[in-house]
Structure 1
């Protein structure tokens, strides 16, 4: 083999090794983002974005009115929608935006575990609904979707409808959930939800002001993006080592303790 050919093959091997290392790093980062739920829809945006998020809908379909909390809402200012047993040893606090793809990624990865832990009485979940993406990208899909979820809570169908909205979530740039008709049609996938009362609640924006109040609480809490998932005061959405199995172990250990 000539020296020239030898050098050429060595250079090719080195380029291939570099490319493989890049691919390995990219795949590792992708798994960490999805499985660890460390991605967020909004990161470190200026405070003006939060203000826009609250006010954006007023120019497009939002009906100003009194703050009406959904049935069964709890916590400070009745901003939390609870799932699971009140006496559970562990409480998971989730701040989410129904239009947020990172929230969907968290749901896909963790939903079966959260359902099982809540149903077993070991975990209580408190959902807080916000509208960050409305302010970031424009539109009212976050607001309309959150209002519809609150309307579903009024009929004790929150969890099932919550699952349906995330399963059918449009692309982040597609403000499809701004259409009340779409939200009402999706309610048909949940038995007993698509009722005249639910439809009126959605169309009238009964819980719009409540959603905006939740958005303000999110801002004042100093959170930086969705999903924010708090367990024992720590945001596990920022923990790249967190997995559904690890969360399950933590909750079950607390339940035994």
Structure 2
């Protein structure tokens, strides 16, 4: 072999080696780029995942979420948000306002002793009643029974005013009403069991579905937001127009439950007679219209001057 051929062979070999090295370098650069690119994508995906998780964690849940959920107003309500529960003869000239909280033991005592008298006055057309239902005991005693029961009452009201009244009576009854600190009404099952005592609600699939789905949870939160309306922060409370009515206190003395109920009922009747005048047919004297109250009760279709409070 000549020196020329030997030199050419060596040069060609060096070129092949150099070319192979370049190919290897390009492959290594590409591999690094892919690894780095994949890492960036992974980091971005992780960051996105963390961001979504943080957002999810900060989203309101439960009753807080209900505040922002779509509002469905029960039938037989009035007002922008359906928070005016006005029950009674539309021709009744006066309106008694009753403020209650379903978990309130004093409200239960009132309903157990005087509830029938209140219902009779409504039936007789003596006055209409606007019920304002609070849920402040959930905050004081813990739990969600007041709100949950209020939502279920909304489902009952959607059926009929009578169903609402009967269900409320059943919730306050001696047999069913729990101790204030027992959050029994926070469970749908407990509410549905009691609702079965009301003919209009027993086996009512629409009512049961609304309770289980929490259809009226947003409405209950709108009702809860009325706390402090007209300055009322305790239950039970009674108002006629802008006038707060006061029940006479029951003496602190030993008495039977029947004696307590009779005295509480008598005190309520005295308070109502003083404000609205004697009931018809009581033999208490001719109703001359002089004691009909201040005439500031809510009329049918009348805008509530305290709306939004």
| TM-score of the pair, normalised by structure 2 | 0.59
Q: Which runs of 4+ in 1 moved over 4 A?
A: 58-63, 252-256
* Number of matched pairs: 200
Structure 2 distance, partners of 1:114, 1:238, is 14
SS of equivalent residue, structure 1 residue 136: helix
Correspondence for 1:225: 234
Of 105, 109, 112 in structure 1, the residue corresponding to residue 113 of structure 2 is: 109
Correspondence for 1:164: 170
- Cα 1:113–1:220 change in 2 (3 A) is closer
Q: Deviations over 1:138-184 (max 9, x none)?
A: 11100110011111011111111111000021000100000101101
Structure 1 distance, partners of 2:129, 2:201, is 22
Whether 1:145 aligns to 2:149 is yes
SS of equivalent residue, structure 2 residue 129: strand
Whether 1:197 aligns to 2:210 is no
Please report the RMSD computed on the Cα atoms of aligned residues, expressed in angstroms. 2.3
Q: Deviations over 1:23-79 (max 9, x none)?
A: xxxxxxxxxxxxxxxxxxxxxxxxxxxxxxxxxxx7657762222221111246321
SS of equivalent residue, structure 2 residue 73: coil
Q: Deviations over 1:107-163 (max 9, x none)?
A: 123212111111111110111122101111111100110011111011111111111
Correspondence for 2:86: 82
Structure 1 distance, partners of 2:243, 2:99, is 13
Correspondence for 2:271: 247
| TM-score of the pair, normalised by structure 1 | 0.70
1:239 is displaced (CA, Å) by 5.3
- Gapped regions of structure 2 (runs ≥ 5): 1-59, 251-265, 281-286, 290-309
- Gapped regions of structure 1 (runs ≥ 5): 1-57
Larger Rg: 2
Of 195, 208, 211 in structure 1, the residue corresponding to residue 220 of structure 2 is: 211
